[in-house]
Amino acid sequence: MSIVITGATGHLGRHVVEGLLEKVPADRITAVVRDPEKAAGFAARGVRIAVADYNEPDTFGTVFSPGDKVLLISGNEFDKGRVRQHQVVLDAAKAAGVALFAYTSAPGSLTAALADDHRGTERAIADSGITYALLRNGWYNENYTENLAPVLEYGAVTQAAGEGRIAPAARADYAAAAVAVLTGEGHENKTYELSGDTAWSFAEYAAEVAKQSGKDIAYHPVSVEAFTGILAGAGLPEPLAAIIAGVDASIEKGELAATSGELSRLTGRPTTPIAESIAAALKG
């Protein structure tokens, strides 16, 4: 039996594989990647590497074996039909007779367009009859802390979230939850609503960045349309910019503010405070 991780060299996938290496022998872990060179470090530590592509169904034909536990990390190719891509992995896993199919989804409260592909994938999983675990990950601290350069340059946190609050956590927290599900017992056919322990506003976020950087930083709320234009101007394709700005509209409505505590319960530790992620980002 192997634990199989798709997107294993991505931001979240790397954290998951590292977490698994602390829990199980390396030869029980399969990292599914497109580019094996990016997984050379894992291979050197004894992790099995499988080369497969969501857009080429035949490449998944021999990835899974009976009894495997699988983590499908949702794809990031918004323009290539993510539900169809996920279906490729689901079909191969179902045909192989895997024991558990875990999927990184979106919070059930999220109505933004970003959630549409996740809901479609969840329906496909339910329709398949496969034994599943849905990890409905909230937003990541790093979605903000990895983009501090323009904040520091212009002295402003610019978002379209109004006075809405958000309860994100670090990628490492969500990865630890996935590891707990993949290596633990009793997670069959469970849905987990995962978020940080504390919700905060972007005014509070701006104040924390100011405190730690020593710079004058203010929160500058804008409309969804204006934020879409800002993101597109920064180089994002307009459809993707609109999707991301749409999440801010959901934040304003409180859709990502829930602090269920399920993430810290799964991992057995508090989630990473935004202040800690800001400090790490400022240190570079």
Could you read off the pLDDT of 145-182 as tens digits, one per residue? 999 999 999 999 999 999 999 999 999 999 999 999 99
Residue 77 pLDDT more than 80?
no
- Mean per-residue pLDDT over the chain, rounded: 96
Q: What is the pLDDT of residue 78?
A: 73
From the list 69, 119, 58, 65, the residue with the least C-alpha distance to 95 is 65
From the list 162, 165, 160, the residue with the least C-alpha distance to 228 is 160
Residue 80 pLDDT more than 80?
no
Q: What is the pLDDT of residue 242?
A: 94
From the list 97, 49, 44, the residue with the least C-alpha distance to 70 is 97
**Cα 176 to Cα 15, 103, 209, 265, distances in angstroms:** 8, 14, 26, 11
CA-based torsion, 35, 119, 98, 60: positive or negative: negative
- 279 falls in which pLDDT band (50, 70, 90)? very high
Rounded-to-integer distance, Cα 100 and Cα 70, Å: 6
Residue position matching structure tokens 């536990």: 69
Give me the count of residues in the chain.
284
